[in-house]
Each structure stands twice: as C-alpha cells, then as structure tokens.
C-alpha cells in the first residue's frame, strides 16, 4: 500500500494539472471501488472548479469551489494517469509496469480551464482504493481523520509532543509510531528506516525515551529528526514505489534503492563501524527490519 511519500508525490504531480480546472464531467464507470461512490457523486462534482489539492496522512484531498472535498485513497494498486494533447504515453522508468488496461479505468475527470483540456484517469486493478465526498470545513470529523496525530512533515511534530505521547507507554516504539493517533501517515517502511537512523530498537518501550519529569530524552529528539529526514528524503526521491505504485507521470521512485533496513534481511548493516546483520521479526503481524547490534 502506498505510504505518505508516495501520496505526496502523486499530489505534486496532479496539482499543476488539476488545480483551477473545471470538471466538465466526472465519469464513474462502475458503482463502487472498495466502497460505493457517494450518492450523486458525478452530478455533485461535475461543473465544479478544483481550487486546490492537498493531503492528509495517506489520503489525497481534492478541494472544490463549493466547499466540498473529494477524499481519495489509492488502496493497493490505484494510480492516476493524465491524458493531454491526444497522448497518454507518459515518461518514466518502469520496474513494475502499471496497468494500462482500460477495463481498470474506473473514474475519469474531464477537465477544462478555457485554454486547455485534459483527462485525469483513476486506474485500480484491485479496486482497494476509494473516493468519498466531505465538507472541507468538517474534515476533522471524517472518521479516518478523527483523533489523527500531526503530520510528520508539519511544524506540530517535535520531541516534546512525542514525549507526551510516549510517557508511561509500555508499547514498543514500532507499534507507537504506526499508531495514527501518535503521528499521521507513518507506515511500516519509513518507521523501520527512521528507527535505524536514530539507532533505536523497534522493540524498545516508548516510555524509556521520556524522563521521569516527562521531558524528551536525547534519543527521542534524534528520532523526531530522523522521522522528518526519512520522509523528506523519500518525497525527494519520489517515494518507494513498491509493487504496483507509480508516480503520476508513470515513473517509479528510487528511495527503495537506498533502504538501510527495510527488506534487507541477512544483509550487513550499513552503519559505519557496525558489524551487525539486518534481522526480521514480526510485530503485530507486520515484518520489522532492524540491526540488533547498533539499534538499542
């Protein structure tokens, strides 16, 4: 499933094409994806102008001029394709070919600005993605967003905030960081990578990073910065592009080629001076990759 950097990459690719365009028609070619489309979805979106594209955690937000927002999730295999100027052949280096089968083109945005026109097509072979329609002013009430923690790219994330979230918590760091009420949008890949960068074991209890007076210990300050850095690096590289995920222009990200621990079981640790080997354990049904030698 695409993680936050992948969704941010998609947002950045779509924004220049979709923002300030009018939806001449929204074409839905089936009644549902993972969930049914909103009632009268096509009619409610058609004729509206797209005023902005945003993101909350792993969700894409398409803001309309009537105050409504399309909340889109890519699921396992969802991707957007831009067709403009009579061509759909888009540049990109492919490791896993994206779906070009028209039978998986489930949603089509027919867009026009008065000067240019294009189609933005949502393709999803597995149909695990979905689209909802929600009032922009009430996004905090959307079920998936209620109680959600701060963005790892935002100013609200700092060591003091994490200290408050970790204080008295006996859960392992891996579980705490995957908890969307602690930090929004962190997934398995980037939690593993951030913990390695901070030299912290995913098995370590969260409370051990907080002083008896509730302050952040130096390792927690380092972890906070490592989270910020790994997300920023992944966004700059276009995401990890595992399995079916692709960027909007069809190209794959290259952060996966610099994984220090994720999916590196049996490989020597990359940390300078460390003689350890990357191990894999299962936590809450998910694979965790780490170096037991240098991550304490």
Provide the annotated active-site residues. 2-3, 58, 286
Own/partner contacts of 206-212, CB < 8 Å, gap of 24 or more, are 206/165, 206/166, 206/169, 206/170, 206/171, 206/172, 206/173, 206/176, 207/166, 207/167, 207/168, 207/169, 207/170, 209/162, 209/163, 209/166, 209/173, 210/163, 210/166, 210/167, 210/168
Give dist(CA 274, CA 266) in Å, integer. 14
From 13, 24, 10, select the one nearest 72 (Cα to Cα).
10
Q: Which residue has the tokens 């028609």?
A: 25
Give dist(CA 122, CA 110) in Å, integer. 12
Give dist(CA 94, CA 275) in Å, integer. 34
Dihedral-angle region of residue 147 (phi above 0 means left; psi in -120 to 50 means alpha; beta otherwise) = left
Helix (H, G, I), strand (E, B), or coil: what is residue 109? strand
Residue pair 150/228 in contact (Cβ under 8 Å)? The answer is no
Own/partner contacts of 283-286, CB < 8 Å, gap of 24 or more, are 283/172, 283/174, 283/175, 283/202, 283/203, 284/175, 284/178, 286/178, 286/188
Give dist(CA 115, CA 131) in Å, integer. 28
Q: How far is CA 11 from CA 80, 142, 222, in A?
A: 10, 20, 29
């Amino acid at each position: 499933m695409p993680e936050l950097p992948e969704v941010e990459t998609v947002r950045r690719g779509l924004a220049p094409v979709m923002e300030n365009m009018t939806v001449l028609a929204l074409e839905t070619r089936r009644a549902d994806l993972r969930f049914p489309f909103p009632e009268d979805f096509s009619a409610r979106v058609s004729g509206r102008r797209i005023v902005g594209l945003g993101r909350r955690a792993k969700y894409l937000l398409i803001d309309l001029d009537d105050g409504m927002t399309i909340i889109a999730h890519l699921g396992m295999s969802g991707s957007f394709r831009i067709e403009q100027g009579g061509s759909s052949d888009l540049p990109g280096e492919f490791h896993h070919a994206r779906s070009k089968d028209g039978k998986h083109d489930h949603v089509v945005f027919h867009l026009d600005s008065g000067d240019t026109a294009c189609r933005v097509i949502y393709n999803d072979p597995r149909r695990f993605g979905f689209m909802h329609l929600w009032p922009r002013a009430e996004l905090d009430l959307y079920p998936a967003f209620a109680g959600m923690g701060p963005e790892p790219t935002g100013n609200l994330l700092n060591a003091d905030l994490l200290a408050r979230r970790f204080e008295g918590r006996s859960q392992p760091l891996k579980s705490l960081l995957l908890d969307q009420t602690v930090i929004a949008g962190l997934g398995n890949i980037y939690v593993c990578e951030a913990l390695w960068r901070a030299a912290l074991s995913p098995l370590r209890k969260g409370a051990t990073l907080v002083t008896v007076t509730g302050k952040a210990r130096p390792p927690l300050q380092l972890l906070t910065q490592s989270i910020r850095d790994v997300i920023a690096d992944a966004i700059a590289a276009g995401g990890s592009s595992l399995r079916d995920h692709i960027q909007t222009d069809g190209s794959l990200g290259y952060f996966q080629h610099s994984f220090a621990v994720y999916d590196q079981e049996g490989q020597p640790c990359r940390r300078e001076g460390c003689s350890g080997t990357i191990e894999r354990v299962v936590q809450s049904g998910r694979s965790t990759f780490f170096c037991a030698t240098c991550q304490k």
